Structure 1
Amino acid sequence: MCNELYGDRPLAQVFRDIAASGYEAVELAPYTLGKPVTEVSTSERERIRMLADDAGIGFTGLHWLLAKTDGLHVAAAEPAVRRRTLDHLIALSRLCADLGGSVLVFGSPGQRSTPPGMSRAEAAERALSLFREWAPHAEADGTIICLESLPAAETDYLNTIGEVIDLVEAIDSPAVQLVFDVKSASAEPTPVPELIRLAAPHLAYVQANDANRGGPGFGDTDFVPVFAALAEVGYDGYVSVEAFEAPTGIDDVAERSIEYLRRSSAAAAAL
């Protein structure tokens, strides 16, 4: 379960609430720590990990990696901005490892879209170069960069699973794979199960949400075919709930989402 849905609740309470709803692990948005990653001390990292341990949950990893940062961009033309962005991402790899996680979900639409005055081709080449530099640091930390496709309404870069696959294969590093986000995949004309089969060779993580940006089960997205396809390709990793809206309350969304996923998984297994 992603933690940012819980707003300003203290982390200890968030971890307890996530565990109480039946989840095994948390996917952490770094900005919710309230300070730059480089200012999160070793003792604070140990404390955060202990809070999760006390609640009985682990960490899948991090997402919203560049959210609420100032002046960072993966396609920046300015060398100083590029260096700060890369340093920030490298520091997140270390934070992820220190917390016991392994996944770094790269979405961050605002910090990957083509900058004004730059061609899309140039921006894509600059982003590719930065990801290539980040990859060996992530691999050394035992973490995996999971590139995320996002709809054209959110960004003009990496809009489809196919485009993400092309980038992953161009980088050619075991530390760079892809995340399958059901909401984003639902924006493509290709059926979601077919996209899962396409993504399978590079699939390292799954985020579960409805096409309407709600939790799974809070819209029309059918997760039975999703689980059937995941089983077909042999995926055995985490499925992380990422809900952007909680119209019925945070805890209700958390509980009903996991209940719906369990029912869908069981129904897929019975097919």
Structure 2
Amino acid sequence: MSTGTPALPLRFGYGTNGLTDLRLDDALALLADLGYDGVGLTLDHMHLDPLAEDLAARTRRVAHRLDALGLDVTVETGARYVLDPRRKHGPSLLDPDPDDRARRADLLVRAVRVAADLGAHAVHCFSGITPPGTDEETAWTRLAEALGPVLEAAEDTGVPLAVEPEPGHLLATLAGFHHLRRLLGDPAPLGLTLDIGHCQCLEPLSPADCVREAAPWLRHVQIEDMRRGVHEHLPFGDGEIDFPPVLHALADTGYQGLTVVELPRHSHAGPHFAEVSLPFLRGAAAAAPLTSRSGEPSATH
């Protein structure tokens, strides 16, 4: 069911957090059949459980499956209840209890090791919401300290950690990412996950300009439609984003990772949205001429 080759040197994936009603083997086979280049693999109880006692063996099986299907992978860590069945995304890196912060950091270290075993190009994570009664300076200090062992693991394995600005979180914007980067002394393993919808939602720059601004630190990209001021992941065409300029800006940066469709609340129709999203992205990628880094039109790429 391949829909042809994209006009730009971009590689598209689909997130398993939008395919949670499928077994992982079936989800991977679906994406390969549809012509995706890779997968954003969210570690969760139904898809490569990061807390499983036999995690290493499960990871080896998934690695073989990805290789057989010709799929690249990035590892994502946004599972809602993988650590706490009662608290969405809890515990976080900002929790008052240091043991709770350590549990989240341990999950991220596990994710880095899984990513290394899978040959993934990055591990995604986010800060979490500032707990009630916690001042901002304390929250940033907790975040920087909690990420220490994760960044060590990232450096040891050569798999970059890609922090995502998330609306409503302590680290919500590109400016927040740069603040964290400076707090940590700009460590080499620290990179950025850029969610294109989040740029539309709350960044002062356009999504295409966000891509250009983020280029030096860009390690992972998530993509979906969204409206200004409303944090709701939407199928392509249901929001306000003009995608051709975004994709051309992304290609022009030389980004080499996956651009992963992020529709976590559409799993009830995941196969349908996986099928229609790839032709949309390829069409958007072919809709306008690529510009060079100097801003001049480029005839070839």
TM-score, length basis structure 2: 0.80
The answer as to whether partners of 1:38 and 1:91 remain within 8 angstroms in 2 is no
Residue 262 of structure 2 corresponds to residue 242 of structure 1: yes
The residue type equivalent to 2:172 in the other structure is: N
Q: CA deviation at 1:195?
A: 1.5
Inter-CA distance 266–16: structure 2 relative to 1 (3 Å threshold): same
Residue 194 of structure 1 corresponds to which residue in structure 2? 209
The residue type equivalent to 1:4 in the other structure is: N
Q: RMSD of the alignment, in Å?
A: 2.3
Percent of aligned pairs with the same amino acid: 28
Tell me the alpha carbon deviations over residues 187-241 of structure 1, each in whole angstroms, 9 at most, x when there is no partner.
1232112212221121112111111512334433211110122233332322111
Residue 159 of structure 2 corresponds to which residue in structure 1? 143
Inter-CA distance 95–236: structure 2 relative to 1 (3 Å threshold): closer
The answer as to whether partners of 1:48 and 1:99 remain within 8 angstroms in 2 is yes
2: CA distance between counterparts of 1:57 and 1:36?
20
Select which of 1, 12, 18 maps to 1:5: 18
2: CA distance between counterparts of 1:138 and 1:239?
21
Q: Note the residue ranges of structure 1 that are not aligned, 5 or more in a row.
A: none
Select which of 51, 63, 67 maps to 1:49: 63
1: CA distance between counterparts of 2:49 and 2:219?
28
Residue 164 of structure 1 corresponds to which residue in structure 2? 177
Which secondary structure does the structure 2 equivalent of 1:268 belong to? coil
Residue 210 of structure 1 corresponds to which residue in structure 2? 225
Inter-CA distance 200–22: structure 2 relative to 1 (3 Å threshold): same
Select which of 103, 111, 115 maps to 2:131: 115
Q: CA deviation at 1:63?
A: 3.2
Q: CA deviation at 1:35?
A: 3.8
Q: CA deviation at 1:163?
A: 1.4
1: CA distance between counterparts of 2:187 and 2:55?
29
The residue type equivalent to 1:12 in the other structure is: D
The answer as to whether partners of 1:12 and 1:52 remain within 8 angstroms in 2 is no
The residue type equivalent to 2:146 in the other structure is: L
1: CA distance between counterparts of 2:197 and 2:159?
24
2: CA distance between counterparts of 1:245 and 1:78?
30
Q: CA deviation at 1:65?
A: 5.8
Inter-CA distance 267–253: structure 2 relative to 1 (3 Å threshold): same
Residue 61 of structure 1 corresponds to which residue in structure 2? 75
Of the structure 1 ranges 77-86 and 249-258, higher mean CA displacement relative to structure 2 is found in: 77-86
Of the structure 1 ranges 65-74 and 193-202, higher mean CA displacement relative to structure 2 is found in: 65-74
The answer as to whether partners of 1:65 and 1:106 remain within 8 angstroms in 2 is no
Q: CA deviation at 1:129?
A: 1.4
The answer as to whether partners of 2:43 and 2:75 remain within 8 angstroms in 1 is no
Residue 246 of structure 2 corresponds to residue 231 of structure 1: no
The answer as to whether partners of 1:215 and 1:244 remain within 8 angstroms in 2 is no
Residue 103 of structure 1 corresponds to which residue in structure 2? 122
Select which of 260, 263, 266 maps to 2:286: 266
Which secondary structure does the structure 2 equivalent of 1:206 belong to? strand
Higher helix share: 1
Residue 192 of structure 2 corresponds to residue 178 of structure 1: yes
TM-score, length basis structure 1: 0.88
Q: CA deviation at 1:130?
A: 1.4
The answer as to whether partners of 1:227 and 1:268 remain within 8 angstroms in 2 is no
The residue type equivalent to 2:210 in the other structure is: L
Residue 131 of structure 1 corresponds to which residue in structure 2? 147
Of the structure 1 ranges 17-26 and 114-123, higher mean CA displacement relative to structure 2 is found in: 114-123
Residue 91 of structure 1 corresponds to which residue in structure 2? 110
The residue type equivalent to 2:39 in the other structure is: V
2: CA distance between counterparts of 1:66 and 1:92?
15
Q: Note the residue ranges of structure 2 that are not aligned, 5 or more in a row.
A: 1-13, 85-89, 227-231, 291-296
Which secondary structure does the structure 1 equivalent of 2:75 belong to? strand
The residue type equivalent to 2:65 in the other structure is: L
The residue type equivalent to 1:76 in the other structure is: D
